[in-house]
Chains A and B, each alone.
Chain A
Amino acid sequence: MNPQDMKPKHEPWYRSKTFKRFRRNPLAITGTVMLIIFVVVAFLAPAITAPQLATIRSARPCVRNLGLKRGEVVQALRNPLKLTFWRAAIKPPKSCYNIPRAGYSPLPKPPSKEHPFGLTSGSYDILYGLTWGARTAFYIGFLVVGISLAIGIVIGGVSGFLGGWVDNLIMRVVDVMLAFPRLVFVMIVSVIFGSGLTQVMLALAVVGWVGYARFFRGDILKTKAQDFVDAARALGSSPTRIFFKHVVPNSIGTLLILASMDVGSIVLTAAGLSFLGLGAPVGYADWGQMISFARGYILGTAQGTPFDFWYVWIFPSVVLVLFGLAWNLLGDAVRDALDPKS
């Protein structure tokens, strides 16, 4: 008999009780809908901002790299039957991530017909920064979670598989890193690595793997204690075969689901760093930076009303909070569905 047969039988995921619990939770649905909107906005960023690309002079490198002439930008980017539409949405040139500047004025400008969300100080278009920033947010979130997961799975796996002093050493390091405030830790590591988007993402991953390693190790120890692993051992499978064929596939599922829910908090932390000034270069479409553009204008002008420049900080901060909220609503519902007792 194959030891795999001793495992509890699984029904398809969409019929499982877990998914039913998730589906019936109104907060889960709200979170999912919000996220879908974010995905759509991120995907359609070139189409949404086509008028800005067409009119603002400093958007020329992006337009040129897309192989377009100035007159045809809006038409090409908004027509799903054209190839450029898909090229711009799926793999736009890097130059498109630079927010076009409609001038060099240090004073923000209120929303107008050409700039629906207004201009920040330095005349960066807010709508452009937010829509393209959504793409940056998803990119940062998924890549960082992916890298941290890879590191966490390898280190947690080694720790759980080998046990003994290796396990002890790794877990002490994990304890120390988990007890340390995350934002401060990421701040220091990104200072060590230097500023820039890639560096900040690396710093987030260097700090982020810890929780996954501990979770994966704990799960491995739990799975190792189950009957089917004993059965496999009795049949003479080698420890390596048991580990990779039986233990890992049984432990990894929950980890993957829980980790994917961290995308939101990663993006929030990255935005915090960006706000501090550690992050993407100036002018790169990134939400944290959009908020830091607003820093000098939160209180309005000295002689005017305090809310003179409301648009520079309200739009970016609300978008950022909604993004975090969507992921947390989803994550909360997922954790609830996986563990209905809590």
Chain B
Amino acid sequence: MLNYIIRRSLQIPMVLFVLSLIIVGLMQLLTPQQRAAAFVKSDKQIEHLDQIIKKYHLDEGFLVQYELWAREVLRGNLGFSRISKEPVTTTIRKRLPASMELALSAFIPIVLVGVWLGTIAATHRDGILDQALRVVAIIGWSLPTFVMAIWLVAWVYGGLGWFGIGRLPNSMLIDLATGHFHRYTGMYTLDGLLNGRWDVFFQALKRLVLPATALVIVVSAGIMRVMRSSMLDELGKDYVRTARAKGLMQKAVIYKHAWRNALIPVITMAGPMLGRMIGGIVVIELIFNFPGLGEWAAKAALQLDMTTLLAFVMLIGLIMASANLLVDIAYVIVDPRIRYE
């Protein structure tokens, strides 16, 4: 097992390597002048494009350029972000907690809603409830994240005046910056609790509700479909028939016997689900004015800030590869039938 984990973790750098090859390779499709634009930090430099091309060896071949880039990255220098006007690593440290807070607050509801609705659909197979949930899932799957986010902002925040957008009200941000507020995690809900500031905790939580809801609606549909089909699989198996034959209640059959086994395939969904969530977070942060990594990347895309985007890609690659590793390990722990050599 330990052997497997070690060998599997060694794949993460491999994944990042392939990913960086793909991105840097794609960049070779541009002319040196176009690529130089990514290094331009101010208007003055535009006149000196040739110098920039020389300085960063942009007219050289793929291998030379890749080596130059990789050497800097391995030293921990991801470059300077034009968008946030500071080194990329500094911005990531500042903004990562915000995105993590949003992702974590959406994660549990996503799993709960998906598993719960999937179970209902499976136990009411082909009934009205199943058909209705099927339509709901397809609608959820068809809703682009940005449309869902706009609807929530317009109807719930704009129309009803509930919850809020942004991370905290401006007055509170100023208050926190001047007062004695220790940032333990960078997540305002947790920090609020740790500092004993209930007002901060509630304000932060209130502003997480809408973006998290948008994520839940868009992402949980996929989990629901997987849960439904894996539950149906289990319900058709012999041990379930045996459990029914010995006179167990429907509830006991479903939740004590079939449920546990049906949950295993749902774990595999974690990877694709995380991917959809990250894509969603980029758009959602932009619409909800939530200063996380996604908003930063979206703005970088609009300003053609390639340095920022490359760093963002590598970070997402790292997150996705680690998540897939965790999924594989969780799989072995949950299902003892699976043995890894």
Contacts and interface: CB of A to CB of B under 8 A. Distances in A.
Given A172-B18, A332-B138, A192 B26 contact: yes
Interface stretch (B71-79, B100-108, B151-159, B254-262): B151-159
Given A180-B275, A264-B142, A306-B154, A277 B302 contact: yes
Interface in B128-164: 134-135, 138-139, 141-147, 150-151, 153-154, 157-159, 161
Given A176-B22, A180-B320, A299-B153, A191 B306 contact: yes
A36 B154 CA distance: 31
Interface in B1-42: 14-15, 18-19, 22-23, 26-27, 29-30, 34
Interface in A301-328: 306-307, 310, 313, 317, 320-321, 324-325, 327-328
Interface residues on B, range: 35 or more
A27 B134 contact: yes
B147 A317 contact: yes
Contacts of A272: 144-146, 283
5 contacts: A179-B15, A272-B144, A291-B146, A320-B144, A325-B138
Nearest to B17: A176
A176 B139 contact: no
B270 to A, nearest CB: 12
B313 interface: yes
A190 B304 CA distance: 10
B316 interface: yes
B282 interface: yes
A187 B29 contact: no
A41 B146 CA distance: 25
A278 interface: yes
A244 interface: no
Contacts of A329: 138
Nearest to A331: B138
A320 B26 CA distance: 31
Contact of A181 (B159, B161, B276, B298): B276
Contacts of B23: 188
Contacts of B297: 184, 187
Q: SS class of chain A's interface: helix, strand, loop or mixed?
A: helix
A8 to B, nearest CB: 27
Contacts of A177: 22
B301 interface: yes
Interface of A: 27, 172-173, 175-177, 179-184, 187-194, 206, 264, 268-269, 271-272, 275-278, 291, 294, 298-300, 306-307, 310, 313, 317, 320-321, 324-325, 327-329, 332, 342
Interface in B245-295: 271, 275-276, 278-280, 282-283, 286
A179 B318 CA distance: 11
A129 B313 CA distance: 34
B25 to A, nearest CB: 10
B309 interface: yes
B147 A181 contact: no
B210 to A, nearest CB: 13
A336 B138 CA distance: 13
Nearest to B304: A191
Nearest to A206: B26
Contact of A325 (B14, B139, B276, B309): B139
Q: SS class of chain B's interface: helix, strand, loop or mixed?
A: helix
Nearest to B294: A184
Given A188-B312, A272-B144, A275-B283, 13 more contacts: A27-B138, A173-B22, A180-B320, A187-B297, A191-B304, A191-B306, A193-B29, A275-B146, A276-B302, A278-B301, A299-B157, A310-B154, A317-B147
The interface centre, meaning the residue of B279, B282, B324 with most chain A CB atoms within 10 A of its CB, is B279
Contacts of B324: 179
B97 interface: no
A253 to B, nearest CB: 24
Contacts of B309: 187-188, 191
The 7 closest A-B pairs by CB, nearest first: A183-B279, A324-B142, A306-B158, A181-B275, A299-B158, A181-B279, A325-B142
A270 to B, nearest CB: 10
B271 A179 contact: yes
Nearest to A31: B138
Contact of B150 (A268, A291, A300, A342): A291
B321 interface: yes
B144 A180 contact: no
A209 to B, nearest CB: 13
A276 B283 contact: yes
Nearest to A268: B144
Contacts of B18: 172-173, 176
A180 B282 CA distance: 14
Contacts of B138: 27, 325, 328-329, 332
B166 interface: no
Contacts of A327: 142
A189 to B, nearest CB: 6
A321 B157 contact: no
The interface centre, meaning the residue of B275, B278, B309, B321 with most chain A CB atoms within 10 A of its CB, is B275
B225 to A, nearest CB: 9
Contacts of B271: 179
Given A272-B144, A320-B144, A328-B141, A184 B313 contact: yes
B163 to A, nearest CB: 13
A332 B142 CA distance: 11
B15 A176 contact: yes
Contacts of B298: 187, 276
A320 B317 contact: no
Contact of A276 (B22, B154, B301, B316): B301
B144 A271 contact: yes
